[in-house]
Amino acid sequence: MTARVQVPPAPGPLENYAACFDDLFSHLGQRRGFREYLTGLLLPRERNKTLTCLAGAEPMTGINDPAVQRLQYFLSESVWDPEAVNDRRLALLRSDPATAPHPGGVLVIDDSGDRKDGHATDHVSRQWLGRLGKTDSGIVTVTTLWADERLYVPLHAQPYTAACRLPRGTNDPAFATKPRIAARLVAKALEAGIAFTAVVADCAYGDNDDYRAELRELGLAYVLALKRRKGLWAPAWAAHTPIDAARALTWRGPDHPCDWTRVPRRFRDGHTETWWAADARLGPWGPDEPYRLVIATTDPATLPDQSTWYLTTNLPRPASPAAAGCPHPPADLATVIRIYALRSWIEQGYKQVKDELGWADFQVRSSLAIRRHQALVMAAFCFCWHTWLAGSGPPDGSGDPGGEPSPPPGEGRRLGGQSAQGGGKISSRHGPASFLASRAAPRPRLAHPLDTAPALLARLVQRAPAA
């Protein structure tokens, strides 16, 4: 059997990471394209990471550069499966003790929209884009992320297709609402062996009765936000919304909190805050019911919009009648707050994949190519975690993720973890001093990423993804 032709290596520790995916690509050009694409995503650039940027070509005029065309073919025409790449990435995460998801973490659900023009690109339609805070033409992707106080890593992503793009609208078999897509992604996380204590999401999913029912059918615990004015039928004298239920609780100041419980929170940047939490009653929700309504706020007297959470959970209150027959462990108010606080890591992850790794900068039209781009961005994101954790060790695992964490820089030492199919341990044996540009550009033009990548990549991998 003829031996495989060796692919030009990626710079520094990226080669050890990329080699774990080689058996998923059948051709030399695919393995080279995988390395060049990841390198282009990881290198710092002063413009959007379009294909010309990733290839180090000039904007517009460089579109026909051979390096650009190779990346275009790799993303749009080449035969490889983005799901297989994503599955391998998750297998590497699970096999490395520094990044392996554990039952103490949470599974965060969210969606994010990015502006895109025209109708020729799959999934693009006029819809609500949370990043812009308005309705506009764009693409929305539902994502899942695993997080604890120490680590946060993306798991799966699926673009949402609006009913107006399908032949039969909402009756089309291919149509799925965002909560329905989210439920599928939760099931995929379970199939991938991702361990977590609860599913967490904002009110876009918490307000959806069908979504909560699907989570219960999967046997999962959840802590989901509700809109403060989500209305429920109730007698005229009873509370009708979560904010009504919160106002019905008794509060006589910090010295006499009555129905409220003090919950101290320590954030990753070192500062602390005093929050107050309480179990409220609203319709079928109550402290002794199978489903609870938990209010958390910085000020029970005024319930400020920006620092008040209205949460529903199926985690029972300790010593309540519902705890006896519940498959989920009891959770006090502090635990519920700690679980939901981890949701903010997905917002931090969005900032990094979009502002640093070019999540929305793709220049392809097909759904397959878009999903390939997203799988490659998530692979680049996880490479940063692997490399940084290998160099510095895990940071302090305590505290809420309020504000951006700033762990100390690592040194890019050995990376633990086995590849999914015998690829061996990922390792990095190069110190920062060895990362020097090996050669100049071969001719007068913008430098190709692999020409000067080692010096730039060395600086990048010494920083944590969150830095």
The arithmetic mean of pLDDT across residues 222-243, rounded, is: 85
Confidence of residue 8 (pLDDT cuts 50, 70, 90): confident
For 328-361, how does the pLDDT look when each residue is reduced to its tens digit (9 = 90+)? Answer: 999 999 999 999 999 999 999 998 998 889 999 9
For 83-128, how does the pLDDT look when each residue is reduced to its tens digit (9 = 90+)? Answer: 999 999 999 999 999 999 999 999 999 999 999 988 889 999 999 8
- pLDDT of 366 higher than 90: yes
d(C-alpha 390, C-alpha 12), whole Å: 14
DSSP 8-state assignment for residue 293 = E
For 54-86, how does the pLDDT look when each residue is reduced to its tens digit (9 = 90+)? Answer: 988 888 888 889 999 999 999 999 999 999 999
Torsion, Cα of 179, 182, 186, 187 (10° steps): 80
- Closest-CA residue to 251 (of 261, 243, 238): 261
The arithmetic mean of pLDDT across residues 11-40, rounded, is: 93
Confidence of residue 395 (pLDDT cuts 50, 70, 90): very low
- Closest-CA residue to 262 (of 308, 221, 219, 298): 298
For 297-314, how does the pLDDT look when each residue is reduced to its tens digit (9 = 90+)? Answer: 999 999 999 999 999 999
- What's residue 237's pLDDT? 72
DSSP assignment of 179-230: HHHHHHHHHHHHHTT---SEEEE-HHHHT-HHHHHHHHHTT--EEEE--TT-
Average pLDDT, the chain: 84
32 sits in which H/E element? helix 28-42
In the three-class reduction of DSSP (H, G, I as helix; E, B as strand; rest coil), residue 107 is classed as strand
Q: Which residues contact 105 (CB under 8 A, 6 or more apart)?
A: 146, 147, 148, 151, 195, 196, 197, 342
Higher pLDDT pick, 206 / 436? 206
Q: Are strands 292-297 and 198-201 parallel, antiparallel or unpaired?
A: unpaired
Residue the block writes with tokens 């659900």: 109
CB-CB contact of 242 with 310 (8 Å): yes
Residue the block writes with tokens 């938990």: 294
- pLDDT of 37 higher than 60: yes
Angle at 229 between CA 227 and CA 230, to 5 degrees: 65
Q: What is the pTM of this model?
A: 0.84
The arithmetic mean of pLDDT across residues 203-228, rounded, is: 94
- What's residue 431's pLDDT? 38
- pLDDT of 19 higher than 90: yes
d(C-alpha 292, C-alpha 294), whole Å: 6
The arithmetic mean of pLDDT across residues 386-394, rounded, is: 71
- Closest-CA residue to 362 (of 12, 107, 69, 121): 121
Q: Are strands 106-115 and 198-201 parallel, antiparallel or unpaired?
A: parallel
d(C-alpha 342, C-alpha 105), whole Å: 8
Residue the block writes with tokens 């929050």: 275
CB-CB contact of 224 with 212 (8 Å): yes
- What's residue 338's pLDDT? 96
For 239-284, how does the pLDDT look when each residue is reduced to its tens digit (9 = 90+)? Answer: 789 999 999 999 999 999 999 999 999 887 888 999 999 999 998 8
- pLDDT of 229 higher than 90: no
Higher pLDDT pick, 131 / 259? 259
Higher pLDDT pick, 467 / 261? 261
CB-CB contact of 367 with 122 (8 Å): yes
The arithmetic mean of pLDDT across residues 153-170, rounded, is: 94
With a pLDDT cut of 70, the percent of the chain lying above it is: 83
- pLDDT of 446 higher than 60: no
- What's residue 460's pLDDT? 52
